[in-house]
Amino acid sequence: MSVIVYIESSEGKIKKSSREAVSYARALNNGDVVAVSLEAVEDAELASVGKNGAGKVLVSETAIETAEAAATALAQAVNSTGADTVVVAGSASSSVIAARLAIKIGASMVSNVVALPDTGAGYTVRKSIFTGNAFATVELKKANKILSINKNTVDISEDGSEAGVEKFSPGITTDDTRVKITGRDKATGKVLLPEADIVVSGGRGLKGPENWGMIEDLAAVLGAATGCSKPVSDMDWRPHSEHVGQTGIKVSPTLYIAIGISGAIQHLAGVNSSKYIVVINTDEEAPFFKAADYGIVGDAFEVVPKLTEAIKALQ
């Protein structure tokens, strides 16, 4: 048997989450790992996922624009390789593709997987539920399986060698291209929030969008992505794509720094799988301190610029 991994890129580079998905697939120890790319990425970059554990990379000759077409292409890769397992790095877009694929290949699918499967009795995996507030052990009952994994589920392995890159030509139908993409607004050159190892988020305590410079300065010295609380995105101080929380983006960085955010339960739901949480708030009663590892009770306008300088001094 073999394992298919759907890999994605951002600005020409394979995403770190995709490298993690390849490492996860390798760790399954279920035969050959075949990575599938549906974007225009340079061969050398594609071949580099071999280091993470892929034996081969299949790359589509035609550009794939829709989730429907991506699912068709992946189903073709599954059929041509005889794979029984598909691994994807979880995101809103990959989940939609994987869910369509699950129907096409008759697979059991689990999202938000946080560990390698246990195949001792049946085939079970642990997944995060209630937006990170609990876990469930789930049995996959069908022979074909799709696992959509959360960030930081396994370490990225780097001990493999370059993979061979082969082109394939997915048989996309007109039904697969009924969704027409008419435009796209995307920030370039920024660290993507769901991919980031460090996230610096600001809340209402910052008083207005004009004060976001210090959040961006701190994020820049840390190589971090910037996030915000729901009120901040509701008031249009920051775009919705930066909203972290229950109804926004869920992040699981190594370090989450919350500045001027009180820590409503809905915000905590989006950050509770962070490894370390730092809270900076003037209100020592802010509920966020209870969820934090480290805290400073103080004014963001004083603390944040000092923190930026102190981190710069380390580098």
Partner 1 sequence: MKILVCITHVPDTTSKISFTDNDTQFDKTGVQYIIGPYDDYAIARAMELKEGMGAEVTVLNVGLAETEPTIRKALALGADDAIRVNAEPEDALFVAQQIAAVAKENAYDMILMGRESIDFNGGQVHAMVGEMLNLPSVSPVMKLDIEGNTAKMTKEIEGGKEYVAVDMPFVAGCQEPIAEWRIPNMRGIMTARSKPLNVIEPVGDGAGTTVQKFALPPAKGAVKIVDSVDELVDLLKNEAKVL
3-state secondary structure of 21: helix
| CA pair distance 227, 251, nearest whole angstrom | 10
- Structure tokens given for 74: 């992946």
Residue 144 has which token pair?
A: 């074909």
Which CB sits closer to partner 1, 43 or 139? 139
CB 290 within 8 A of CB 281: no
Expressed in angstroms, the distance from the first to the final Cα of the chain is 47
Q: How far is the CB of 38 from partner 1 (least distance, A)?
A: 15
* Nearer Cβ to partner 1 (111/165): 111
Question: Are 87 and 14 within 8 A, CB to CB?
Answer: no
Would you say 141 or 159 has its CB closer to partner 1? 141
3-state SS class at 113? strand
In the complex with partner 1, the residue whose CB is nearer, 13 or 275, is 275
Nearer to partner 1, 62 or 246 (CB): 246
Rounded to a whole number of angstroms, the minimum distance from the CB of residue 292 to partner 1 is: 5
> In the bound complex, what is the minimum distance in angstroms from residue 196's beta carbon to partner 1?
11
CB of 55 to partner 1, least distance (A): 28
Written as one letter, the residue type at 115 is: A
Residue 194 CA to residue 173 CA, distance in Å, equals 32
The tokens of 187 are what? 């920030």
Tokens read off for 109: 């699918």
Report, in Å, the least distance between residue 166 CB and partner 1.
27
Which residues, 6+ apart, have CB-to-CB distance to 119 below 8 Å? none
- Residue 191: count of CB within 10 angstroms of its CB: 18
In whole angstroms, how close is the CB of 263 to partner 1 at the nearest point? 11
- Least distance to partner 1, CB of residue 207, Å: 20
- CA pair distance 38, 77, nearest whole angstrom: 11
Backbone phi and psi for residue 79, each to the nearest 5 degrees, phi listed first: -65, -40
Task: Give the shortest CB-221-to-partner 1 separation in angstroms.
Answer: 10
- Decide if 202 contacts 228 (C-beta within 8 A): yes
Contacts 24+ apart (CB under 8 A), 297-303: 300/202, 300/205, 300/206, 300/214, 300/259, 300/260, 301/211, 301/214
CB of 133 to partner 1, least distance (A): 5
- Of the pair 47, 67, the CB lying nearest partner 1 is at 67
